[in-house]
Each structure stands twice: as C-alpha cells, then as structure tokens.
Amino acid sequence: MDTIEKLKVLSEDSQYDLACACGTGKNDHRKRSRDGKWLYPIAMPQGGYSVLLKTLLSNSCANDCKYCPFRAETNVRRCTLHPEEVARAFMEYYRRKKVFGLFLSLAVIGDADYTMEKINTVARLLRYKHDFKGYIHLKIIPGASDAAIEDTLSLASAASLNIETPGGKHFSLLSDKKVYERDIIRPLRLMGRLTASGMRYSRVKCTTQFIVGASDETDSEIVDSVFKLYDRMNFKRVYFSAYQKGLGSPHIPGERRFLTSPEETFMREHRLYQVDFLVRKYGFERNDVLLDGSGNLKLDKDPKEVWADAHPEFYPVRINTGYKEALLRVPGLGPETVGKIIEVRRERKISALSDFGVKGKRAGKIKSYVIFE
C-alpha cells in the first residue's frame, strides 16, 4: 500500500484514541474532516480548536487488550507506516496549511521501548530534519522505560498514556499481559513528575483516557481517579471513551453489562465529561459529585443539577451581588455567562436574564435558582 492507502486504514483505526472531548459543548463532539479521515478537527487540551493529522503508525499489535478490536488475536487488515512516510505526509499537509499539528499513536510492535522508538523517530524527524516547531501529541506505550518516556517528553508538545480503568482489579479483567502498577501507574506518575511546574518538561501537557464500561468499574471509582490525576499527578486533561459492545472479547464485563443500549453507554460517557468540566472549570470538590446508591452518576440528570437539587438551602443566588463561585453553582450558568454577569453588573443593575443574553429553556431553568434583588 502507498502512504495514502495506509492512512485510510490507520486513521480509521485511531478513532479509539481520543484527541478531543465529547458532549459538553457543540464544538466538543468527535468529528472528522471531509478532506480525509486523518485530518481531525479537535478541541485542544489547553483550550481552542484546530486540525491535526491524526493516525496510528501501525495497527499490528502484540498486546491482548480484550476491549480492543486490534488486539493480537483478531483478524483485521494490518499495516504499518514508516516514520519517514509520516513525517513526509505531515509536512506536505503543513506546508499547504491543512493542519496545525500531529497526533500520533501506535499499536505495540514487539515490546514497549521498540514501539516508543518508532513514535519518537517521527517526532525527531519533524523537529530536527524538517525544523517543525509546532504541536506534536505522542502516545506513550504502557510499560515504556523511564528513558523512553523522557525522550518522548523532550520531543512532544503533549503526551498521553491511557489509564484504561480506575484500579488494578478492573484492569486485570482486560489484559493478561499488562500489569497495572508497573505498566500504567508507574509511567503515569513519572509523566506527572517530569512535567510538574518548574521541572524540565513543564511545557508538555499530559492527558489520559478511561475506557468506560469495558470492565466493571463504577462511576465513583472513575471520579476518585480523576481527582487524583489532577491533584497529585499534574495531568491537564482526562478523556473518557465509552466502550462499544461487539468490539472486544465476549468474556469481558463490557459485553455483559446491564447498560445495553448505545444511548445509555454514551450518556454515561457524557455525564463523566460533565463532572470533569465541573472539576476543572467550576471548582467542584469530590464530595460535590453526588452518585446514586450503586455508586454511579444519574443518567437522566446533569450532575450540577443533582447537586443543586440536593442543596436547596444554597438558593436562590443573588444575580447582582452573588460572588462568582455561587453563580457557577446555578444550573444553566457556565463560566462564560458568569463572566458576562459580572461585567454587566459593574455598569448597571441586572433586572432580567436577557440583560446578559440568556433566553428560552435555559432561562427558564436559571430562574428557578436565582433572584434579581
């Protein structure tokens, strides 16, 4: 196959490595460019939107991840791009102003460090042969050595390693080859240390991803892990990918879960993204995330509304004098709208939601929780 034929196969296979969030805003949904599925419009971890060339370097995998359709035992069309092919194709798109940067992942070829060398070679070619100084997101392979990880961080703008599940017990149901503490948590901790404020690679944004529902974890366990990733490991963004039935081994919990419809599966993913947004943008603490008796988020209600309905004593919030943190607790008000409220009320008293541009159903929801004193 030529480079374009390989890109057609490998970019399609890269859909399970998320480069963007989904569901928390109209621009956050997964989407692909009409110009080729390897040109990928994304929401960047640090904010804003752009287009990446997004592909696997290879889908020929030696691992046994039981949720993955490309695990070693499956019979799929396999191919591999050479590092020089990726670098050459990327630079052609970049010179034509078709892409902003590169998101590169790879199945495990042989062992972790051999695979990391292939990924890092692409970045090294771009940085030193083609003098590309822009955005490169590289995947770190589970079980990679400290030296391979540091090499990646020296070349990348962003790096990610999928945590997959919250804890070794759930992880053991998805792989017989990988060891959770050794292959996942150890490299995640190293990534966090090396990119902490004041450290050599502090400019690199580290992200990770849960495969939601492939194993038997609860939302409570995922949320606990999210707080640890942000508070203790210095990670900049957590992603969630809903496991899609039929892709993996018939023996994993994700194939037998009580959540059987795609709608419920993706709603669970959506609720987790909403919680993540509340943590990053609204200042929610762990005990602010309320769950049902089984340790899961309600599928039929926004987690911010769940908190509001459980704390009637907090409301109504005064629009004209309420502090920013209180306004952010109002269902229907987000950081951007709260910023407008604060800006408008510096100039005049607010007497209606239309004063800061809110109308329709959203306005109806907000009115239940505020007062125009």
**Of residues 198 and 78, which shows the higher confidence score?**
198
| pLDDT band at residue 43 under the 50/70/90 scheme | low
Segment 104-120 shows an average pLDDT of: 91
Q: 251 pLDDT exceeds 70?
A: yes
Predicted TM-score of the model (pTM): 0.87
The count of C-alpha atoms lying within 13 angstroms of the C-alpha of 22, restricted to the half-sphere facing its C-beta, is 19
Surface-to-core class of residue 325, CB atoms within 10 Å of its CB (0-12 exposed, 13-18 middle, 19+ buried):
exposed
- The confidence score (pLDDT) of residue 359 equals 85
Tell me the two tokens of residue 112.
């972790």
Q: 42 pLDDT exceeds 80?
A: no
Cis peptide before 69 (omega within 30 of 0): no
pLDDT in tens, 126-165: 999 999 999 999 999 999 999 999 999 999 999 999 999 9
**DSSP structure class, residue 355:** G
How many percent of the chain have pLDDT more than 90?
63
CA dist 86 and 123 (Å) reads 10
Mean of the per-residue pLDDT values for the chain? 87
- The confidence score (pLDDT) of residue 38 equals 59
The count of C-alpha atoms lying within 13 angstroms of the C-alpha of 28, restricted to the half-sphere facing its C-beta, is 14
Kindly list the domain boundaries of the chain, sorted by start residue: 3-255, 311-371
- The confidence score (pLDDT) of residue 19 equals 45
Q: Which residues contact 259 (CB under 8 A, 6 or more apart)?
A: 213, 265, 268
Answer yes or no: CATH 3.40.50.700 is held by domain 3-255: no
- The confidence score (pLDDT) of residue 260 equals 61
Segment 255-259 shows an average pLDDT of: 68
Please state which of the ranges 88-102, 159-173, 309-323 shows the lowest mean pLDDT: 88-102
Query: Between β-strands 205-212 and 158-160, what pairing exists: parallel, antiparallel or unpaired?
Result: parallel
Segment 200-229 shows an average pLDDT of: 96
CA dist 7 and 39 (Å) reads 10
Please state which of the ranges 51-60, 83-92, 135-144, 165-174 shows the lowest mean pLDDT: 51-60
Report the candidate in 132, 121, 130 with the shortest Cα–Cα distance to residue 157. Answer: 132
Q: 257 pLDDT exceeds 60?
A: yes
